[in-house]
């Protein structure tokens, strides 16, 4: 019996809480001999796991190297890269699936026998362009990584068409799209009641302007309430938000729920508000997990005029689109809600649950890895 090809899934993230990488593991285990390298414990079902030390950062902090543009030195000094080099055997794996740009040079260096697939979760050169220091010192490093290493990848994917188009325009890299769709979940449409329940979940980061939600919900009618799940990325900012919301009785902050319980939790609500002011390129082109989780929960969506989300909302009739990203525009949209309108969105979500599921999206990954396995084309030397 022919042995299955070996596949290393490489990420500088906590793998058991990274939905996108977990979907890769689920997709490929049983079809390949899957190993993983990441922070934290092994995901279920893999043959081998290489655990990175929790304190080994995957992003640059070598200020002298960044200022002097010694980018090879900067990359080699990343603690996550040094740790992974000490753990991972060179030339052992047939294929490597490298998540995010910061793992790609390492994946190529490990010399997989057949090739490297690069899955880029963001447009790396403009990821934090709203931050001046990042734009001056980190962005040139990211552009260097793209120019030097993307041509050596056997294939590339990203999370939205806008980001894929930018990789093609700036680096000549043909980039497929695998959205952050949630796995298909059986579900039923629950009619909206007289009281409309809204939900918003987000990373607690200042550039996301979550205070817009608080402003929009001031003096909300009694039939309208908003629950917010905010991760403590920037604790001071999250504390400010809670203080602002203390005088807004229609807003409740609730604790995060485990990923496996998220869709079931969302199904208790009527509408998910996915409102991302375009403070940087990636937010402008975002098509986030929470959009797709709302579809699987069979609830409606309210989105800002973010191009990727607008396209799907219109195509499938999933919800409403605000005129702009102001709190006032969001306020007007929220106050226009009716149970009849929401029920229509919920029925549309039910009809879209299968075509917008992860299972429909992941065929792109499956085909990309199969093509590498079939051609046996080793990565070009960077």
pLDDT in tens, 100-118: 999 999 999 999 999 999 9
Angle at 51 between CA 47 and CA 52, to 5 degrees: 150
DSSP 8-state code for residue 47: S
The whole-model pTM stands at 0.88
* Three-state DSSP state, 59: coil
| pLDDT for residue 380 is more than 70 | no
Beta partners for 52? 39
Q: Return the closest-CA partner of residue 179 out of 119, 264, 262.
A: 119
State pLDDT tens for residues 340-352.
999 999 999 999 9
Confidence of residue 375 (pLDDT cuts 50, 70, 90): low
Ranges of each domain in the chain: 6-178+362-375, 196-357
At 24-66, the pLDDT tens digits run 999 999 999 999 999 999 999 999 999 999 999 998 989 999 9
Per-residue pLDDT at 378: 41
Q: What is the pLDDT of residue 207?
A: 87
Residue 333, pLDDT > 90, answer: yes
User: Where does the pLDDT of residue 17 fall: very low under 50, low under 70, confident under 90, or very high at 90 and above?
Assistant: confident
Beta strand spans in the chain (E): 6-14, 33-39, 48-52, 95-99, 115-120, 155-158, 176-177, 196-203, 224-231, 251-253, 271-274, 300-303, 319-321
Q: Classify domain 6-178+362-375 at the CATH superfamily level.
A: Glycogen Phosphorylase B; (3.40.50.2000)
Chain center to CA of 19? 8
Using DSSP, state whether 150 is helix, strand or coil: helix
Chain center to CA of 346 = 24
Tokens linked to 130: 């709203």
Query: Tell me: the pLDDT tens digits for 199-256?
Result: 999 889 998 999 999 999 999 999 999 999 999 889 999 999 999 999 999 999 999 8
CATH fold, domain 196-357, is Rossmann fold (3.40.50)
| Plot region of 215 (φ>0 → left; ψ -120 to 50 → alpha; else → beta) | alpha
């Amino acid at each position: 019996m022919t042995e299955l090809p070996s596949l290393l899934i490489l990420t500088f993230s906590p793998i058991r809480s990274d939905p996108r990488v977990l979907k890769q593991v689920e997709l490929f285990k049983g079809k390949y001999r899957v190993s993983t390298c990441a922070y934290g414990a092994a995901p279920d079902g893999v043959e081998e796991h290489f655990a990175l030390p929790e304190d080994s950062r995957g992003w640059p902090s070598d200020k002298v190297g960044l200022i002097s543009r010694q980018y090879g030195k900067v990359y080699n000094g990343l603690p996550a890269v040094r740790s992974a080099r000490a753990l991972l055997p060179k030339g052992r794996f047939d294929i490597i699936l490298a998540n995010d740009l910061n793992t790609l040079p390492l994946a190529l260096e490990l010399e997989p026998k057949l090739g490297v697939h690069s899955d880029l979760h963001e447009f790396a050169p403009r990821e934090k362009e709203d931050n001046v220091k990042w734009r001056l010192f980190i962005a040139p490093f990211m552009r260097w990584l793209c120019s030097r290493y993307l041509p050596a990848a056997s294939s590339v994917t990203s999370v939205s068409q806008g980001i894929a188009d930018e990789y093609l325009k700036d680096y000549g890299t043909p980039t497929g799209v695998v959205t952050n769709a949630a796995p298909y979940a059986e579900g039923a449409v629950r009619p909206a009641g007289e009281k409309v329940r809204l939900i918003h979940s987000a990373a607690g980061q200042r550039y996301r302007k979550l205070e817009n939600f608080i402003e929009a919900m001031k003096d909300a009618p009694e039939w309208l309430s908003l629950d917010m799940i905010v991760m403590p990325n920037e604790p001071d900012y999250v504390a400010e938000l809670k203080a602002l919301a203390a005088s807004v009785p229609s807003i409740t902050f609730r604790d995060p729920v485990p990923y496996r319980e998220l869709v079931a939790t969302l199904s208790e609500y009527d509408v998910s508000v996915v409102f991302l002011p375009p403070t940087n390129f990636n937010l402008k082109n975002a098509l986030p997990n929470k959009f797709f989780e709302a579809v699987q929960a069979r609830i409606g969506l309210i989105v800002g005029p973010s191009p990727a989300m607008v396209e799907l909302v219109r195509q499938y009739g999933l919800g409403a689109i605000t005129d702009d990203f102001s709190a006032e525009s969001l306020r007007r949209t929220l106050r226009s809600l009716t149970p009849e309108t929401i029920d229509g969105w919920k029925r549309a979500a039910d009809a879209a649950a299968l075509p917008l599921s992860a299972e429909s999206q992941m065929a792109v990954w499956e085909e990309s890895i199969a093509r590498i396995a079939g051609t046996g084309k080793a990565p070009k030397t960077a």
